[in-house]
Chain A
């Protein structure tokens, strides 16, 4: 019971660590990693809050939704990576920045 609060707290921290990295680091691949960590944090809060029953069973509804979510986050990663590779090929950049410096490189 208190364990579920512990995991929910950990999930919250994971979400904010991921959000922080998403804002701070410029490399696109690192942003994709950060978004994945954010997703894992959300899943963890969701399932941990579903694990609060007194008889030690975890709520199957959040479990099923997180299973779906894991596959969807893989879809996100795959599409984001292809977009990042495309950005890299068109601009030579591995970040979102495209200005004079990019043309000079």
Chain B
């Protein structure tokens, strides 16, 4: 029993390491990205083996799914060819030696030291499990990971919403959104898939969100699923109406962060400690923050996927109308 499990774990780790090497070394970047997506799915399996189903869900949706889609869009814009190789520069023999020395000798030796250090760590260590379990009954939720994410270390999630918001702001300041398909080029299979998947994605996202209080699931996974739905709808030619691209979109993007900020301000005023929820309100407060965060994460991830600030579509629609008229 344990022998077979250890064999499985060993093979999985070996496969992950080989896959990482092969995908990074593969000549064709498209192949590399497809392998990266399968790497993400195998990694999700590894998370399950490490008894972390929350991370497995997030890895499958975000790590493999959305990151993979992002990379494919990026490949479409950049191209696979290496343009501008470094020019050969006159160097001394010692300088020429330094790069292979660094990569070939220093990296493996640091890796070896870290690996040896791993084996000197205590075999059994319970970390913070007992501490979390002791405070779980006051947390307002029954699932330890959700309790850590939204109560005990709520500031982590709060600041992470800030990081997401900042990322989208910097993306907006660098480029404008581009759509992969023109309206008349959308594949019919994609439209059918969207009709089947979109309601299912919304339903599953809702389930995962409310499930987070008792078991694996929560705002991240639900938000990422909703984001996948929005991305799918955008691929199928659905656009935000021009009137909704201004304040409404910005409100949707920032509502997770602002809800957290409000909760922090109110708790600071009440008890002097930000994000220390009163025990009888903790459950409802967490649910409220999670709903806002889910909504926000969905729009933030989809905005990151669009690759730039929204372009007012007034002109193209006017042309479309003239065409159809």
Contacts and interface: CB of A to CB of B under 8 A. Distances in A.
A52 B107 CA distance: 27
B62 A13 contact: no
Interface in A11-51: 12-14, 16-21, 23-30, 32-34, 36-37, 40, 43-44, 47-51
Q: Do most interface residues of chain A lie in helix, strand or loop, or is the interface mixed? A: helix
Indicate the member of B13, B21, B147, B170 with the most A CB atoms within 10 Å. Answer: B13
Interface string A75-86: 111110111111
Chain B, interface size category, equals 35 or more
Interface in A48-103: 48-68, 70-79, 81-86, 88, 91-95, 97-102
B43 A40 contact: yes
Contacts of B145: 60, 63-64, 67
Q: Do most interface residues of chain B lie in helix, strand or loop, or is the interface mixed? A: helix
Chain A, interface size category, equals 35 or more
Contacts, number: 271
Contact of B127 (A5, A37, A59, A97): A59
B160 A58 contact: no
Interface in B117-168: 118-119, 121-129, 132, 144-145, 147-149, 152-153, 156-157, 160, 163-164, 166-167
B266 interface: no
Interface of B: 5-6, 9-10, 13-14, 16-17, 20-21, 23-25, 29, 32-33, 36, 39, 43, 46-47, 49-52, 54-55, 58-59, 62-63, 66-67, 70-71, 73-75, 77-87, 102-103, 107-108, 110-111, 114-115, 118-119, 121-129, 132, 144-145, 147-149, 152-153, 156-157, 160, 163-164, 166-167, 170-171, 174-175, 220, 297, 301, 304-305, 307-308
